[in-house]
Amino acid sequence: MQGFDSFTTTLSCLLVYHWYKNLLQEYSQTSGIQLPIYSTINEGEQHAPKFRSTVLVDGLQIQSNRIFSHRKEAEQYVVKLALDYIVLKFKNKGVPNIY
């Protein structure tokens, strides 16, 4: 059962990652801005990776303040940061939320 739990956790993380990434992509397309540009670097060793991601969207570069042992987690985190920033920006302007 432990293998199945690990699989379902991984699957749900991937689905959330793609959902966030899709939202950011859709926001960029509907806003007429350049599509997001992603960058992920390994700040650790090959046997002990430490990934940090950055996304450039709407002229703003957002870098993760955390490091992760898996690339997808680092990317998911920075995309979520970007979406949170955009939602806050819309809230301050009185524009409806994007999610």
Task: Answer whether residue 71 is part of any domain.
Answer: yes
**Residue 37 pLDDT more than 60?**
yes
| Residues in the chain, overall count | 99
DSSP track, 34-78: PPPEEEEEE-S-SSS--EEEEEEETTEEEE-SS-BSSHHHHHHHH
Q: What is the mean pLDDT of the chain?
A: 81
To the question of pTM greater than 0.95 for the whole model, the response is no
Considering its fold, how many domains does the chain have in total?
Answer: 1
Tokens of 23: 């939202």
What are the pLDDT digits (tens) for 38-48? Answer: 999 999 999 99
- CA separation for the pair 50, 44 (Å, rounded): 5
Task: Answer whether residue 80 is part of any domain.
Answer: yes
> Span 23-48, mean pLDDT?
92
For the domain that residue 73 is a member of, what is the CATH number? 3.30.160.20
- CA separation for the pair 97, 99 (Å, rounded): 6
Return the pLDDT at 31: 84
Return the pLDDT at 19: 80
Return the pLDDT at 14: 52
Task: Answer whether residue 99 is part of any domain.
Answer: no
